[in-house]
A and B are shown apart, each in its own frame.
Chain A
Amino acid sequence: MSVTINIQDLVKKYGDTTVIPELSLEIKQGEFFTLLGPSGCGKTTLLRMIAGFNSIEGGTISFNERVINQVEPGKRNIGMVFQSYAIFPHLTVKGNIAFGLENRKLSKADINAKVEDILKVVQIEQYKDRMPKNLSGGQQQRVALARAIVIRPDVLLMDEPLSNLDAKLRVDMRNAIKDIQREVGITTVYVTHDQEEAMAVSDRIAVMKSGVIQHLGTPQEIYQRPANVFVATFIGRTNIIEAALTGGKDGYSVDFGSGYSEAMTNIQLPGSTDAKKLSVKVSVRPEEFIMTDDHTGMKATIVHSVFLGQNTHYFVDLESGQRIEITQESKTTHILEPGQVVHLKVKTDKINVYDAAGELNYTRGVQL
């Protein structure tokens, strides 16, 4: 039985340092939910609080309606996949997977049947009698996953499960994890610092920094309308350009300086403030630039280029001296040379405009 996880005003302290100050969050039943953030942001701490390995200094965690603050980790009915896999090295693959079931007063035949089933799901039937040391990283990962889900947990918790795998295997495994999760339909909380991985597997993502959720939304929402500059820079690559916002209710425009400005149709200021001339930070992702042929837009000088096949990345200097990165679909013609001058415009429907502190997104459509 998969559950809804409700977290209310949760506080975590180590001594006098508060790591998580009053965090509230609801994770829906059957959802693949990811906690994403740089190291030290509190994501693993939060996960381990849900698991019961970290104490709770305030607030509550409930599975469905039941508050589980005081419940022992072993009685929370969770399945956990550890960063190190934590495979028991002295037990076979089968022994590892059966370990949790053996605590649950099931008949031998029952246990065997369940183990066989799950071995099929994670596709490691042929290795069932091997010792863990004879398994590859990816296979160990599958054992860890099988061991966690075979007990039919209410919640599946995964702590950076892919960080020990090489790049290619990481992509394969994250697809496998997503497929298996969809198949068994368990509420899943996944911790990672890899934003691409998070986007690939998650139904929803909470981006965390210093124990605070900065943005909670679907991968698309977070990428396209990041709540603040931190989220914009953490998810994918972006350029933050200082600009000025002018106009009022009837129409705003962003002035990038050096004679380039764009009218914006999707700006919404808090209250009804007229932006006479508000200094703002504009987040423009590399692919949100257009090179113009008619010498309109910002003037920029090519510094160097990186050819990556499908796309070519250019590093260019603006007239302000700021260096930014832009991506263009690679053309069959020559790559632009260093020193060459180009003109750039931005895709106004895609860029995000923030207040001067970078805390508030003025662009419409932000889903928090």
Chain B
Amino acid sequence: MRTRKRFDVWTNISFLIFAFYMLFLALPLFTMLFKSVYNGTTGDFSFAYFVKFFSKPYYTNALFNSMKVTVCVTALATIIATPLAYIMATVKIRGNATIRILILISSMSAPFIGAYSWILLLGRNGVITQFVSNTFGFQMPDIYGFTGILVVLTLQMVPLIFMYVSGALKNVDQSLMEAAESMGYKGFGKMRKVLLPLITPTLLAGGLLVFMRALADFGTPMLIGEGFKTVPVLIFNEFISEVGGDDGFAAAISVIVVLFATSVFLLQKFIANRKSFTMSALHPIEAKKKKGMGSIAAHVIIYLYTFIALLPQLYVIYTSFLKSNGRIFVKGFSLQSYQSAFESIGGVITNTFILAIVSLVIIIFLAILIAYVTVRRKNALTNTLDIFTMFPYIVPGSILGIALLITFNDKPLILSGTALIMIISFVIRRLPYTIRSSAAILHQINDGIEEAAISLGASQMKTFFKITLPMMLAGVVSGAILSWITIITELSTSIILYTGKTKTVTVAIYTEVIRGNYGVAAALSTILTVITVVSLLAFLKLSGQKEVSL
């Protein structure tokens, strides 16, 4: 019913934010597209880079590998997570709330930390590998390559789907299950015919998120992939490699990936729109106390999964306290690793905090304004803005990093190597979390509240600051904490944009792992985990929720 076509202060704000996105998202992506179709040396228009890509198996294999990993991870994570969520929803598990938080924590660390921990556990000289071969005289299968990526990424993604499905199950009314039972559906039949269709929209949404993350993930295949190259690794190598690095070719591969991701995204939207419906349960499914074998089995499955999911982080924490001699862990405990972590590269912690805090302030500011204009001032401009904010879901971090770098490497705006470019990338990539939660809470605030303030003589700005903003605050804060956690664990963009002065904790962990300084890496990882867990607990406390919606 909002038909007033007045130009007000919000129109100006919309334009400013729009300009920000044009400059720091649209322009870089366009530059990337431009570079991919123009020859770097001669400046002629050509599809040579694309021809090069599709004519060599070395490149096409990487694309195929990426698809294989992404599809397998998405499928496997869904297959594992759905039953877990179902068990948690229907069976009373001891320590239910704690388990949920632990599962959440397991998903919040940077994936590559998982990768490197699994190498410590299951790698050629891994603890478990050694143990098995010493005790049973039996050689464990290789963790490197496809298997390793699959294991690490799947473990990383299961919590995401788990949280999505848990949320959906909460909205399924118990009476729907009872209705199915009264019509003769039991056990598996009931699930297949009733429950599964009900959570399909959720599975599609969660699946898309996992798909995009697995596709974009750079650290895991880099560490554990060895010969098994995926596209993000390929792009990184092409772009960074000191000999014969080629911006244009990296741009061309990026364009291919973005096109692929976009088509998957649109396909998902197309399917999801046809299957979508809204549910809200009057009587949600309740977890019931089971007896005997059923209960034991449920507990074993849940506890075992939680243990496996947390194992990499726990092991990293454990190794951070080990004594080391050079690069090798030796017997006994010490704080040696922490000492060298602070001594040699203590600056990264300060860097991370400064970059993350500045980014977060900008994110909160922009997110509030964007949420407001897209929810309350719907027009062509704000709709475009809404679409812009979706882009970070589709564009992998390393690609956005490259796009920013090739765009702002030259006059008139030279940003490469500055802290600003890091901040911009963090803001663009992590804004959506805060926008989403701010918009969600804004949807719940009745239009009439603002009209009431205006009818009482308050100006638009006064209405916003004295009425709307205080009411939005809870939603803004919970989104901001998610943005915060994802900023401090960010690797794929920082690895491309960082310089010595702007090195972050994640980049430091990554480089230390590559150098084989596992002790220092473990110490830094532990610090990161502690910050993450504290932030997460703050989030849960503040939002009063037991879950995080991503």
Contacts and interface: CB of A to CB of B under 8 A. Distances in A.
Interface of A: 14, 45, 48, 51-55, 72-80, 82-90, 99-100, 103-104, 147-148, 151
B4 A78 contact: no
B452 A90 contact: no
A151 B452 contact: no
B514 interface: no
A75 B453 CA distance: 12
Q: Which 3 residue pairs spanning A and B have beta carbons closest together?
A: A100-B456, A86-B448, A103-B457
Interface string B439-464: 00000001011011111111100100
B120 to A, nearest CB: 50
5 contacts: A52-B455, A82-B452, A84-B446, A86-B449, A104-B457
B187 interface: no
Contacts, number: 75
A83 B470 contact: no
B448 A48 contact: no
**Chain B, interface SS category:** helix
Contacts of A86: 446, 448-449, 451-452
Given A83-B448, A86-B448, A88-B449, A55 B3 contact: yes
B456 A147 contact: yes
A53 B451 contact: yes
A80 B452 contact: yes
Q: Categorize the interface residue count of chain B.
A: 20 to 34
Contacts of B467: 88
Contacts of B449: 84, 86-88
B366 interface: no
A73 B449 CA distance: 14
Interface string B451-490: 1111111110010001100110000000000000000000
Contacts of B1: 45, 48, 53-54
A73 B455 contact: yes
Nearest to A81: B452
Interface of B: 1, 3-5, 446, 448-449, 451-459, 462, 466-467, 470-471
A84 B448 contact: yes
A147 B462 CA distance: 17
Contacts of A45: 1
A74 B451 contact: no
Of B1, B452, B456, the most chain A CB neighbours within 10 A belong to: B456
B434 to A, nearest CB: 20
Nearest to B469: A90
Contacts of B462: 103
Nearest to A99: B456
Given A84-B448, A88-B452, A151-B457, 10 more contacts: A14-B3, A74-B455, A78-B455, A82-B446, A88-B449, A99-B456, A100-B457, A100-B458, A147-B456, A151-B456
Contacts of B5: 55
A173 to B, nearest CB: 18
Contacts of B448: 82-86
A151 B454 CA distance: 13
Nearest to A12: B3
B456 A89 contact: no
Given A54-B1, A55-B5, A79 B446 contact: no
A87 B449 CA distance: 7
Contacts of B458: 74, 99-100, 103
A45 B471 CA distance: 27
Nearest to B458: A103
A52 to B, nearest CB: 8
Contact of A103 (B3, B452, B456, B471): B456
A82 B449 CA distance: 9
